[in-house]
Amino acid sequence: MKRIKKCPLFLILVISSVLFTLIGIIGKNSIYKDYEYHFADTPFLALTLEGISKGEYPWESFRYGSVIEAVSGALNLPIGGGEDEALETEALVAEGDAGSLFEEAIPAEDAGEEAASDEERADRTYDFVQVGEEYFDDAVFIGDSRTVGLFEYGGMEERCDFFAKTSLTIYDVFTEPIVKDEETGDKITIEAALQKKQYGKVYLMLGINELGTGTTETFMTEYKKVVGRLEELQPGAIIFAEGIMRVAGTKNETDPIFNNMNINERNEAIEEIADNKKIFYIDVNEVVCDAQGNLEKDYTTDEIHLKAQYYEKWKQFLLSKGIIREEK
């Protein structure tokens, strides 16, 4: 023992020989499998030294083993399986496919992380942000005469599509042929138009004309059906459920049907369907009403519709209510 301690070089040589011998044993069927080897007259150490002389270093055996393991996993083969399985794996490696399969096999963890990210995106809620007018480039607005006014005076007609008509209601929104088909020139329904083109945002304002029909419950039953159909037709779109714009003070006080109490009741019901994931509730009344909650009398001539110059307020309000979702 004392002699060994006095001869560290000898100790290193012994350990190296043992280590290289073990590597030769491990690598004889993998990295060194093409080398000529005769058990009787060739020590395993010679395999390792021959490999080093040819530029195939011992750690290559571990790398090769990793490739075999990855390929086996990609093929759903048990490592160390039957002969046919081993031959198939070796053939893939020999043909140069191991690299690509190895790359495909590794992302198993990444795939799990990506799936988790997709779930997180699906569960994530979003806050409103200020956006520029280019935000409307992939938008469509659906509504009644008030949305017609936004089309005529909002300065947005070159950027987005408007499927709007005076007296349109939640009950006939998908049955009225109001959209001009660019291919045929014929009028088609909004539903048919939405089947022809995909949008990034859908703005929906309907409800003023329906105040004299049914109850809030019957209105919302149909409203939910429409929103559900919009989700089917536009699976990638953000849906903005717009609150019904209120009426001015005199109209509110004198009309038993078209008044702000009824409007507010329906707006509260509309707001409840928003999940802040894909469906968002926005209420333009925030910027067009007075302190009493009535439509500003100076903003309207008939106490229902905005004057031309005040549609800009509506547009600016929309620009303050942008939703930016993460890209996949």
Side chain identity, residue 205 = M
Q: What is the pLDDT of residues 221-264, one digit of tens each?
A: 999 999 999 999 999 999 999 999 999 999 999 999 999 999 99
Gap between the Cα atoms of 172 and 151, Å rounded: 20
What's phi and psi for 202, nearest 5 deg?
A: -125, 120
Instruction: Show pLDDT as tens, one digit a residue, over the chain (328 residues).
Output: 555 555 667 677 767 777 767 766 666 666 555 555 555 555 666 666 676 665 555 554 444 443 333 333 333 433 344 444 333 333 333 334 433 333 344 455 565 555 556 566 667 899 999 999 999 999 999 999 999 999 999 999 999 999 999 999 999 999 999 999 999 999 999 999 999 999 999 999 999 999 999 999 999 999 999 999 999 999 999 999 999 999 999 999 999 999 999 999 999 999 999 999 999 999 999 999 999 999 999 999 999 999 999 999 999 999 999 999 876 5
Gap between the Cα atoms of 43 and 24, Å rounded: 9
Strands 177-180 and 187-189 turn out to be: antiparallel
CATH architecture of 126-319: 3-Layer(aba) Sandwich (3.40)
Gap between the Cα atoms of 283 and 270, Å rounded: 10
Give me the helix-helix angle, 98-105 and 59-74, nearest 10°. Answer: 70
- Scanning the chain, the segments in alpha helix (DSSP H) are 2-6, 8-27, 44-53, 59-74, 83-94, 98-105, 108-123, 145-153, 190-196, 216-233, 249-254, 260-271, 285-288, 311-319
Q: What is the DSSP string of 7-21?
A: -HHHHHHHHHHHHHH
Strands 161-164 and 139-143 turn out to be: parallel
Gap between the Cα atoms of 148 and 326, Å rounded: 32
C-alpha distances (whole Å) from 292 to each of 99, 208, 285, 312 are: 71, 19, 11, 22
Extents of the domains making up the chain: 15-118, 126-319
Gap between the Cα atoms of 208 and 300, Å rounded: 16
Give me the helix-helix angle, 98-105 and 83-94, nearest 10°. Answer: 110
Name the β-bridge partners of 240. 203, 280
C-alpha distances (whole Å) from 148 to each of 61, 166, 308 are: 73, 7, 11
Gap between the Cα atoms of 322 and 224, Å rounded: 22
Three-class secondary structure of residue 241 per DSSP: strand
Contact call for residues 282 and 318 (beta carbons, < 8 A): yes
Contact call for residues 58 and 50 (beta carbons, < 8 A): no
Report yes or no on whether pTM surpasses 0.95. Answer: no
Going by C-alpha positions, the residue among 277, 267, 279 that lies closest to residue 230 is 279
